[in-house]
Structure 1
Amino acid sequence: MRGWRLLRDRSQSRAAAECGVSTAHLTYVETGRAQPRSELILQLASAMAYIDAGPQ
């Protein structure tokens, strides 16, 4: 996930805000200390324009 974020030139705080999670939680996900829900993975991918998440 960190690689995706860096490729899209997103700060951790911006990516977290776009996905509705705390920066701390995103840090835990990126470092492997927390397992992301599938919804978070889709939100991150959508926020970084890797996929179209469809209607919201």
Structure 2
Amino acid sequence: GTVVAPRASELIHPISIAVDNNLTVEQIANAFTVYPSLSGSIAEVARQLHTVKRAEEQV
């Protein structure tokens, strides 16, 4: 994949760790991250995705 954004290097590292370790969205969502930070936004997005997925499974 490609990451194009201001300060993209702050996003690439946590994403590459997640990919390298085959982490699930749930594992990323439960990860401890520094807040506020750009890299912490990855875990926040994972939390939102995980919440949507759980809601869809209950329907």
For normalisation by structure 2, the TM-score amounts to 0.24
Larger radius of gyration: 2
